[in-house]
Amino acid sequence: MPKIVSPDELAKKEIFLVLATPATIRQRNIDLIKEISGLGYHTIVITTNFPYAILSKLYAEQGIDPAKVSFIDTVTRNSLGSAENIPGVVRFINNPANLTDMGIAVTEVLKEHSGQKVCILYDSISTMLIYLSSPNISKFIHFVTNKLRLMDISGIFLAVEKGLDPMLMTQLTTFVDSVIDTG
């Protein structure tokens, strides 16, 4: 399978918006992690849809080294009521709409991995739209992309293709370096 993101662009710490169909978006998540891990990156997955426990299981099945992935999980606490953070592995957030907590978690997880080749994978903007208005999402993505550029870290934002209105799409396009439509 051809590479989704270019290793050269990833090495230049570029930021990507990756679009996929609703049916393939979960597989794209796995494909991306495989690719990024294969290039020696540690991936921080911000998940708003599937809990970390399930995702890590699915990654392991696909031969992805669990040590190369850590999570910011916005799903589990809502279901179980409580879940303890596991340093270096997962940080839990109560609610995907809580951008303050998510911002803090991103900052702290990035600190934990400072000095490493790190890439952030945000899965997904489309699910975030259930909880947040597009202006708020836009502001948050702007905040995250600024932070990534300041810390010289690459990032990938996943979204369902044709699921973003032209205004939000235009804004996101200005925040990232390239938009990749995987179909």
Partner 1 sequence: MKPKADNGPGCIEAGILENALVMIAVLGKNGKVLAWNHAAETITGYARDDVVGNTGVWKKMYPEKQYRNNVTRRIAGILAEKNFFEGLETTITTRTGGKKTILWNTKETQTQSGPVVVAVGQDITQLRELDAFRTSVAENANVLIAVLGKKGEVLLWNRAAEEITGYSREEAAGPGDIWKRLYPDPEYRKKITGQITGIIAENEFFENLETTITTKGGDTRIISWNTRQISGEDGGHSIAIGRDITEQKKAEEALIAYMSEMAMRIRQPVGIIRDNLKDIARLTRDKKVSGDEIAMLLDAQIRNATQVEANVQEFQKAVLEKNREIPDAYRKFLGG
Instruction: Decide if residue 143 touches partner 1 (CB under 8 A).
Output: no
Q: Show the site string, 90-119: x = touches partner 1 by CB under 8 A, - = not.
A: ------------------------------
Q: Show the site string, 8-47: x = touches partner 1 by CB under 8 A, - = not.
A: --------------xx-xx---------------------
Closer residue to partner 1 in complex, CB, 4/58: 58
In angstroms, the Cα distances linking 24 to 21, 37, 38, 95, 158 are 5, 20, 21, 25, 11
Closer residue to partner 1 in complex, CB, 63/115: 63
Structure tokens at 131: 């909880």
Q: Which residue has the tokens 């930021």?
A: 15
Residues forming a β-bridge with 160: 20
Residues forming a β-bridge with 18: 158, 180
* Euclidean distance between CA atoms 127 and 119, whole angstroms: 20
* Euclidean distance between CA atoms 85 and 110, whole angstroms: 15
Residues that bind partner 1 (CB under 8 A): 22-23, 25-26, 49-51, 53-54, 57-58, 61, 75-76, 78-80, 126-127, 129-131, 133-134, 160, 163-168
